[in-house]
Structure 1
Amino acid sequence: MSVQPEHLQDLPTQASLEIARSKAEPEFYYFAYGSCMCPVDLKRTLGENTHVYVVGNATLKGYRLGFYRRSALRDCGVLDMVKDSSASVEGVLYRLPWRLSDRLDEREEVPQGGYRQEMVNVSCRGKIYTSVRTYVVVNKLTEELAPNDWYFNVVLRGALTCGLPEQYCWQLFNHMYQLQQRHWVSQSLRSA
């Protein structure tokens, strides 16, 4: 049996903090695969520190990423997921307090018809989480639209900060880079 110094004996353990938090207010699981993977960017929208809500890296099977939405706010292509039985998407699983649900819907432009909630099952740390909320684009573009540099960087920062697999980060980087290259080439041809 280990003996803790007297001033540490009354401090709550991580497990007791988790139990207390879960009893304090309702929560929901959220799978982020785009800019919301970055806890700093998510904090900007939700108004509080979101690092504490990260459960860990998660994998969603049966979908693939694509830039099938133009964001008027960011003036570029932004991430979406489309069903693809041969693919999977890596992202971040959050356990968020229910009080943040409306703010998350606002960020994803649910009231304006930008994205819609979709319930999925993800694997995280060897466990399957069911009925996890994620968002998919309502009216998808017919072809992908390149992200701008800001969106490119925030998505990659989120992937790296939350420790997504290195190979996946490289694939994500390459996909965004190729889209930007095609965009710049087509812009050059139009102005020539």
Structure 2
Amino acid sequence: MSNQTGHVHHTWVQTLHPVNSDLRLQQVQEKEPMFYYFAYGSCMCPVDLKRSLGENTHPFVIGHATLKGYRLGFYRLSPSRKCGVLDVVKDPKASVNGVLYQLPWRLSEHLDKREEVPHGGYRHEFVDIHCKQEVYKNVRTYVVVNKLLEEAAPNDWYFNVVLRGAVTCGLPEEYCWSLFNHMYKLQQRHQAQHWVRSA
């Protein structure tokens, strides 16, 4: 079942936060163009997303969501962050947890810049997302254009931002631990390789 238009009403009616409900109501009244976005990396953290988009993104969070048929991997070296950053790759046996946002269209270009779309870092991929017992069709997410052959380790800053976003937005505890272990093992492997090279 797909619900692309009525979900805004559903969200603000049920919210317990008056500020958020006022904002949702205002958006519906103004009929501001919106788009759905699935975040699985550092953008899961609304605080870090605010840094790029220039405004508070908490009100635009729909909730914890799942992308089926993909798996996570650190298949890009970010020139700005100087470390490995997350990507999703097709894998019929896997799934990726993340956060579903409904963002105003006016933030689309800022999000593309953050994901380095103009420079060929990531590109749009439109996927089906499972959230709150509904399926959202044609949801935007981002995938790496030129993937590394081997995963690259995240630095401590990226590690912490990704984990903070996962915990803050209520991803399952088991998934958070799996994410932690994946990143930790990549860092350990990176350090071991560094020691071998410098020995």
Q: Deviations over 1:47-85 (max 9, x none)?
A: 000000000000000000000000010000000000000
Aligned to 1:6: none
1:111 is aligned to 2:118: yes
1:22 is aligned to 2:28: yes
Counterpart amino acid of residue 21 in structure 1: Q
In the alignment, the residues of structure 2 paired with residue 146 and residue 14 of structure 1 have an alpha-carbon distance, to the nearest angstrom, of 39
Counterpart amino acid of residue 163 in structure 1: G
Aligned to 1:9: none
Paired residues in the alignment total: 180
Selected match of 1:181 from 181, 188, 192: 188
In the alignment, the residues of structure 2 paired with residue 131 and residue 39 of structure 1 have an alpha-carbon distance, to the nearest angstrom, of 22
Aligned to 2:142: 135
Map 1:61-100 to 2 at 5 A: 61-100=68-107
In the alignment, the residues of structure 2 paired with residue 28 and residue 22 of structure 1 have an alpha-carbon distance, to the nearest angstrom, of 13
- TM (norm. structure 1) is 0.91
Identity %: 71
In the alignment, the residues of structure 2 paired with residue 132 and residue 159 of structure 1 have an alpha-carbon distance, to the nearest angstrom, of 19
1:146 is aligned to 2:177: no
User: Which has the larger Rg?
Assistant: 1
Shift of 1:14: 3.4
SS at match of 1:52: helix
SS at match of 1:117: strand
Aligned to 1:36: 43
Runs (5+) with no aligned partner, structure 1: 1-12
SS at match of 2:119: coil
Shift of 1:22: 3.1
Q: RMSD of aligned C-alpha atoms? A: 1.3
Aligned to 2:170: 163
